Amino acid sequence: MVDVAVSVIMPVYNQETYVGDAIRCILDQSFRNFEFIIVDDGSTDGTIEVINRFDDPRIRLIRADHGGYLSALKLATRAAEGKWLARMDSDDLCLPDRFEKQLDFLEAHPECVFVTSAYGIVTPNDKFLGISNHSGWHFVLPSDITHGRRLFCDGCTMFDRKAAIEMDYDDELGVESPLWYRLLQTGKGAVLEEPLYFVRWRMGSLSRGQMKNAGNVHFQVRDRYDNAEIVGIRRCDRQIGISKNEKRAVYYNAAAGDFSSARKTAFSVWRQSPFNVEAYKLIYIASGFRRSKSVEGPCGVIFSPISSPFEKISVR
């Protein structure tokens, strides 16, 4: 194989509806010197058939028994050959200059072992929410991860392969936040404030499903790797009632005008918590009776409806 600068790693499990769009976003990158490692985690739908439609020598498909999201990521990481690893989730989208801008930043800031970016939202039916464009950037602080103040998503992160292998993923916590925290022990991390990535916000996705108790992840990372007591921070051992991500799925989809997806999530929440008054509020929002022109995301980020930033968005 020709030397590659970037290894794109993408785990996939039963994503026949969206994986084609995710692959197209990677193949359409303006930066071309990469390999694209897709680990199929034992899909049982038509995911493999969709992947096989793409005839591109940069794609390396690895098929594995179903072992979970993190297991697939570890397999991809060890199969990679590039200096940098670029994450991608199989139902998300990224802009065509994502790699180019991230690599330019890393070249200009050799002290960084990872760079990521702000993100927008894409609904299950391809409606978009964006944030105001910014041209700046900022370093990631350990407290951004241990106190739930981070403004980036895992799928848009580009990071040093050798450092990642040395630090490794945390099997017990089962999410990627511990890796970003531990990488900060070897160098700096940074967030580009321009949104280069769009998260597909739906409760059926792998990442949303795993993150039902996402509000506690930062506590778990701090307890395991930095257990200093912080005044004013209260820990919940488990999520009770309706999760933040379930609420966000309804609010984001409704704000973007994707009411069918908002209703699907709202009624699913109601079936799980039929005596919770908040479930009825979500049904009201999902029905479109009170459509907001903007919606607040994590850490005060404001999302607003935008037109599609992609010329085309379907190989489905």
Q: Which CATH architecture has domain 1-91?
A: Alpha-Beta Complex (3.90)
Split at pLDDT 50, 70, 90, the class of 204 is low
Confidence of residue 235 (pLDDT cuts 50, 70, 90): very low
pLDDT at 208: 44
Crossing angle of helices 277-286 and 244-256, rounded to 10°: 20
> What are the residue boundaries of the structural domains of the chain, listed by start?
1-91
Rounded average pLDDT over 91-117:
98
pLDDT band at 127 (very low <50, low <70, confident <90, very high): very high
Q: What percent of the chain has pLDDT over 70?
A: 89
Q: Measure the CA–CA gap between 261 and 253, rounded to whole angstroms.
A: 6
Average pLDDT for residues 225-253, to the nearest whole number?
68
Predicted pLDDT at 215: 53
Ramachandran quadrant class, 68 (left: phi over 0; alpha: psi -120 to 50; beta: rest): left
pLDDT surpassing 50 at residue 138: yes
Q: Which amino acid is at 75?
A: L
Quick one: pLDDT at residue 314? 55
| Higher-pLDDT residue of 251, 289 | 251
Q: Is the pLDDT of residue 258 over 50?
A: yes
Mean pLDDT of the chain: 89
Alpha-carbon distance of 13 to 45, in angstroms, equals 9
Residue 121 has pLDDT above 70, yes or no: yes
**pLDDT of amino acid 228:** 58
The answer, yes or no, to whether residue 67 has pLDDT greater than 80, is yes
